[in-house]
Every structure is written in structure tokens, then in C-alpha cells.
């Protein structure tokens, strides 16, 4: 009996460790069904707990077999499809290295990165008590391993490169793994693999994109009843919304970057404001990397211009794929100004399980970017569910945004949405708790959202748009 022919069912959430397992499934290039689960609801429902009593994702069902834990799923699939050459032969030194680094990543690296994210790293005097020893030892050991060549255990890409590479890609993005040049050199080529791009596209869409290769059938665990009513409601709501003046500041958040033969580097995204024409001088922000729009496409048709609300592909000049990252913003020169601090009006969801604490580390979502950040309050130590307050969001790396941008805050563990916010100023004033005028300043800043109405009625020239939107 050919057991590999049995149906594969993948249980996941697009913002989870399931992203790595999805990448592995796409590398295998076989059909699989996807069941999307939600934190705290369907993930804890009896039917899923019968599959994984932990109530966590991912999980993989193969016929009657069930596999959980990302490393185990990767190893299982590599053995299940030997023709893909994603695991070295049994009994060889390469296989020994394969096991070594697979379980090193699942054990010490995972534990150390999680402890760092939670600010719970063991002190030096307690290092012998934890499996990872010290964070520095883990990083140095990993650096030594990936410095030996382009792959960890073979002369070609295997499941262990995928698993370790995924940890490096996401860990460096969120600051749980140090950004070392050797880590970037090792992991960067993996991000150009077609399977990685496909998997990222699927999860970026919420898990609802079907690829030609995977032929995956998307099944939602929630009932489909009411979809037509929802669509009708969205149409009515959109029609009732007042028309808004769109800023002439061109912004295109990058959601995908790839190379196309005969054209070079191409990025895709949705224009959130303004417009761009073929030949325009542009900048990727941050870090203010110059380029030019060589060509534009909308719905696979070449066009001379794209405007706000339109999805497009932009052929950029003079840059390689590795020079651009998802989350960067394509803009005209001199219109956006990077900053590591944003003034936000944050609202903690009434459904949040706990308050948003002072200086807590969070997942911050803006446009197509997801990054780590910390929240600082001036008039309180925590933001309780249902409360709204001014806050400063601080980033490790520079960000670009404009007044009125909406942002989403997600907790680190468990990964769930806990708050939303409105960007009041990407270049905020310095505030101090001990400032005797703090309350007066906060009162004035609280009024900033009302300025939006004034901006909408102001002259619509480019200078006015810049002042009103970019510099408030």
C-alpha cells in the first residue's frame, strides 16, 4: 500500500508556527487540504482537541496518522516523500547532522528565543538548569553551524535548512534572534525559493489563496451560513461611508518581491494613497533606497499610472530582490520621514483577556509590515480591556506612516489581537512623566484626531497634504 497517497489535512492559523509547516508542504509540492482555526475558539473546540489535545497549531493528519510540532511535521514529510530529497540517507554522517540541527533548533534555539521574547532569560548563575544554557551560547553555536556552507548537512537544501532558516527569518524580524551577517547570508536565499514565496502568499492572504502547485482545498471550521448576508452588509456599509479626500502622498506597502525573467525585480502591493506613473523617481522607505518605476501592471495589464485603492505590480530599477523586504513602503522622494517612535491613540479590545501593560512587547501591524514594538503610557501603567488612551509605540527599526493610519496590536503569547490604534503623529514630541505640564500636553494631543476634519476641508494642494498627513 502506498501510504504517501493518503490524504493530507493541514490544521493551521496564518499567524502561527504553521507558516513553517506550510512552507514544507509547498516544498513537497503535493495536494493538501487546509483547515483554518482561530485562537481561543475553534482551536480549543472538542473536534480539534481530539486531534491535538494541546489545542495548538499546526497539526497534520495523514490518513489515520496525526503529527504535531513543526519539527516533527517537517521530518515526517521529508521521509514521506523521499523523491523530493529533503532528508539525507539513513545511517550517513549527513543524516546525523540533519537530526542534530533539527532538534537543536526545536530545543535550545526555540527555548532561548521564546525566553528572550518574554524577557525571561535565565541568569548566568542558573544557566545549567535550562536546556538552552545561555542565549549567547545558542547564538554562537548556531553561527558556527551555518557558517560552514550554504546548507547544514548536505550539498543541497533539506528540511533542516527550511526549519532553521524559518527560525532565523522570523526571529531576526521580531528581534528574538540577533541579526548577524552570517545568519542573513544563510537565510536570505531561502526567501527566494518558489515554495517559500507561495507559502508566504497564502498565509498573507489569511490562508485563503489556492496555489496551482498545492491544489489545496481551503476548508473553514466556521460555518459558511450567513456569507451572503455578510457580503450584502459590507456593500451597504461601504455605500454609507462618507467620501474621503485622498492624500496625494503616494504610498505602496510591499507585500511581495520577486524576480521576473527579462524584467528584473518586481514588487506587488496595493496603493493606499496617491498615484505613481511609469518613470517616476521613487524611494523604498525605510531606509530611503532610490529606484525608479520601470513599468506598472494592474490585473496583468500594463498601465501608465496606478492610483489609490488599486492593486499593482511595479518593476523597479537598479535593485535586486534581496535589497527589498516585505513591509517597506514605496514612495516619492522627500514625502515620508522615518522614526522609531509613534504617537498612537490605542484602544484595548473589550474581548482582550488582560490589560495591555506598560512597556510590554507586542507584535505591531501596519500596512504589510509586522514588527516587534513596545508600548509606553504616560498617564497609567496599563490599558484595561475596553479603555482608550494615548500611547507611544517604540520600534527597534525605523518606520514610516502618516496621520490617520490604522494599526493592529497583537500579544506575543498567545498570539492574538488585543488592541487597535490610530496614528496621530509619526514624529511625536518628547513627553516625560515628571513634566509639570504633561496633563495639558496630553489634553492637546487628545484633540489631534479632530484635526482630521479640518484637514479634509483644507486646500487640497500637495503642501497642505504633506503638512496635514505626514507631519501632524
Is 236 within a domain? no
The answer, yes or no, to whether residue 185 has pLDDT greater than 80, is: yes
Give the residue numbers spanning the domain of 312.
Answer: 251-331
Number of domains comprising the chain: 3
Is 398 within a domain? yes
- The CATH number that applies at residue 277 is 2.40.30.10
| pLDDT single digits (tens) 393-406 | 999 999 999 988 99
Q: What is the average pLDDT score of the chain?
A: 86
Is 207 within a domain? no
Name 132's Cβ contacts closer than 8 Å, sequence gap at least 6: 107, 108, 109, 111, 112, 115, 138
In the structure, what pLDDT confidence band is assigned to residue 242 with cuts at 50, 70 and 90? low
Helix (H) or strand (E) holding 282: strand 281-285
Please give the pLDDT value at position 448.
65
| DSSP class per residue in 285-350 | ETTTEEEEEEEEEETTEEESEEETT-EEEEEESS--GGG--TT-EEE-TTS---EEEEEEEEEE-T
The answer, yes or no, to whether residue 248 has pLDDT greater than 80, is: no
308 and 185 housed in the same domain: no
Is 217 within a domain? no
Residue 106 CB neighbour total at 10 angstroms: 19
More confident of the two residues 266 and 224: 266
Is 352 within a domain? yes
Please give the pLDDT value at position 219.
45
The answer, yes or no, to whether residue 470 has pLDDT greater than 90, is: no
Nearest to 218 by CA among 77, 439, 32: 32
Query: Which residues is 316 bridged to in the sheet?
Result: 293
Helix 93-104 to helix 70-80 angle (10° resolution) is 150
Contact between 284 and 291 under an 8 Å Cβ cutoff? The reply is: yes
The answer, yes or no, to whether residue 77 has pLDDT greater than 90, is: yes
Is 206 within a domain? no
Please give the pLDDT value at position 262.
77
74 and 180 housed in the same domain: yes
The answer, yes or no, to whether residue 19 has pLDDT greater than 70, is: yes
The domain boundary residue, chosen from 285, 305, 331: 331
275 and 401 housed in the same domain: no
67 and 106 housed in the same domain: yes
Buried b / exposed e along 262-278 (16+ C-beta atoms within 10 A): eebbbbbbbbbbbebeb
Give the residue-averaged pLDDT of 187-215.
76
- The CATH number that applies at residue 188 is 3.40.30.10
Q: Report the SS3 class of residue 459.
A: coil
In the structure, what pLDDT confidence band is assigned to residue 247 with cuts at 50, 70 and 90? low
Using CA atoms, how far residue 256 sits from 32, 58, 400, in Å, is 24, 24, 18
Please give the pLDDT value at position 60.
97
Q: Are strands 217-220 and 33-36 parallel, antiparallel or unpaired?
A: parallel
Q: Report the SS3 class of residue 103.
A: helix
Report d(CA 407, CA 400) in Å as an integer: 12
385 and 322 housed in the same domain: no
Q: Which residue stretches of 188-343 are H helix?
A: 194-204, 227-240
| pLDDT single digits (tens) 374-384 | 999 988 899 99
Is 246 within a domain? no
Residue 414 preceded by cis peptide, ω within 30? yes
Is 294 within a domain? yes
Contact between 432 and 438 under an 8 Å Cβ cutoff? The reply is: yes
Torsion of CA 88, 91, 92, 95, to 10 degrees: 40
439 and 373 housed in the same domain: yes
The domain boundary residue, chosen from 311, 331, 351: 331
The domain boundary residue, chosen from 180, 196, 212: 196
191, with CB counted inside 10 A (0-12, 13-18, 19+), is middle
Please give the pLDDT value at position 223.
43
Vertex 98: Cα angle to 97 and 103 (nearest 5): 100
173 and 302 housed in the same domain: no
The answer, yes or no, to whether residue 345 has pLDDT greater than 50, is: yes
Q: Report the SS3 class of residue 233.
A: helix
In the structure, what pLDDT confidence band is assigned to residue 299 with cuts at 50, 70 and 90? confident
Give the residue-averaged pLDDT of 176-205.
90
Report d(CA 62, CA 59) in Å as an integer: 10
346 and 317 housed in the same domain: no
Give the residue-averaged pLDDT of 405-411.
93
Please give the pLDDT value at position 28.
96
99 and 7 housed in the same domain: yes
Whole-model pTM?
Answer: 0.55
312 and 353 housed in the same domain: no
Expressed in angstroms, the distance from the first to the final Cα of the chain is: 67
The answer, yes or no, to whether residue 318 has pLDDT greater than 60, is: yes
Residue percentage of the chain with pLDDT more than 90? 62
Among 70-79, 200-209, 272-281, which is the least confidently predicted range? 200-209
Q: Report the SS3 class of residue 305.
A: strand
The answer, yes or no, to whether residue 464 has pLDDT greater than 60, is: no
318 and 343 housed in the same domain: no
Among 268-277, 329-338, 381-390, 454-463, which is the least confidently predicted range? 454-463
359 and 327 housed in the same domain: no
Please give the pLDDT value at position 266.
92
Amino acid at each position: 500500500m502506498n501510504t504517501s497517497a493518503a490524504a493530507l489535512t493541514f490544521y493551521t492559523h496564518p499567524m502561527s508556527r504553521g507558516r513553517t509547516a506550510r512552507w514544507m508542504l509547498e516544498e513537497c509540492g503535493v495536494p493538501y487540504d487546509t483547515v483554518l482555526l482561530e485562537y481561543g475558539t475553534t482551536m480549543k473546540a472538542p473536534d480539534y482537541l481530539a486531534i491535538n489535545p494541546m489545542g495548538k497549531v499546526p497539526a497534520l493528519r495523514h490518513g489515520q496518522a496525526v503529527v504535531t510540532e513543526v519539527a516533527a511535521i517537517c521530518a515526517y514529510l521529508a521521509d514521506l516523500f523521499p523523491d523530493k530529497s529533503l532528508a539525507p540517507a539513513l545511517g550517513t554522517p549527513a543524516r546525523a547532522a540533519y537530526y542534530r540541527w533539527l532538534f537543536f533548533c526545536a530545543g535550545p534555539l526555540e527555548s532561548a528565543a521564546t525566553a528572550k521574547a518574554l524577557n525571561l532569560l535565565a541568569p548566568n548563575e542558573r544557566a545549567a538548569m535550562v536546556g538552552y544554557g545561555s542565549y549567547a551560547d545558542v547564538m554562537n553555536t548556531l553561527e558556527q553551524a551555518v557558517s560552514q556552507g550554504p546548507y547544514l548537512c548536505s550539498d543541497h537544501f533539506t528540511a533542516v535548512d527550511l526549519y532553521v532558516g524559518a527560525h532565523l527569518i522570523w526571529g531576526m524580524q521580531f528581534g528574538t534572534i540577533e541579526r548577524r551577517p552570517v545568519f542573513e547570508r544563510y537565510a536570505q536565499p531561502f526567501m527566494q525559493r518558489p515554495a517559500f514565496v507561495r507559502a508566504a502568499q497564502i498565509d498573507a492572504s489569511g490562508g485563503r489563496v489556492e496555489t496551482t502547485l498545492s491544489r489545496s482545498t481551503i476548508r473553514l471550521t466556521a460555518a459558511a451560513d450567513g456569507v451572503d448576508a455578510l457580503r450584502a452588509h459590507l456593500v451597504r456599509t461601504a455605500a454609507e461611508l462618507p467620501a474621503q479626500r485622498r492624500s496625494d502622498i503616494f504610498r505602496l506597502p510591499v507585500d511581495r518581491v520577486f524576480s521576473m525573467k527579462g524584467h528584473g525585480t518586481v514588487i506587488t502591493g496595493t496603493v493606499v494613497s496617491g498615484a505613481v506613473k511609469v518613470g517616476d523617481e521613487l524611494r523604498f522607505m525605510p531606509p530611503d533606497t532610490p529606484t525608479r518605476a520601470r513599468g506598472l501592471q494592474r490585473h496583468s495589464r500594463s498601465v501608465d499610472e496606478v492610483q489609490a485603492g488599486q492593486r499593482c505590480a511595479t518593476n523597479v530599477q537598479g535593485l535586486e530582490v534581496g535589497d527589498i523586504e516585505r513591509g517597506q513602503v514605496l514612495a516619492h522622494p522627500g514625502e515620508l520621514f522615518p522614526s522609531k517612535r509613534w504617537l498612537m491613540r490605542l484602544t484595548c479590545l473589550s474581548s482582550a483577556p488582560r490589560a495591555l501593560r506598560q512597556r510590554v512587547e507586542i507584535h505591531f501591524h501596519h500596512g504589510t509590515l509586522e514588527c516587534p514594538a513596545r508600548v509606553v503610557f504616560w498617564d497609567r501603567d496599563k490599558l484595561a480591556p475596553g479603555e482608550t488612551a494615548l500611547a507611544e509605540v517604540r520600534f527597534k527599526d525605523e518606520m514610516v506612516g502618516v496621520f490617520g493610519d490604522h494599526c493592529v496590536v497583537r500579544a506575543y503569547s498567545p498570539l492574538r489581537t488585543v488592541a487597535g490604534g490610530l496614528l496621530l503623529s509619526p514624529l511625536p514630541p518628547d513627553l516625560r512623566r515628571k513634566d509639570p505640564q504633561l496633563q495639558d500636553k496630553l489634553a492637546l494631543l487628545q484633540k489631534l484626531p479632530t484635526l482630521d476634519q479640518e484637514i479634509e476641508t483644507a486646500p487640497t494642494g500637495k503642501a497642505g497634504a504633506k503638512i496635514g498627513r505626514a507631519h501632524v
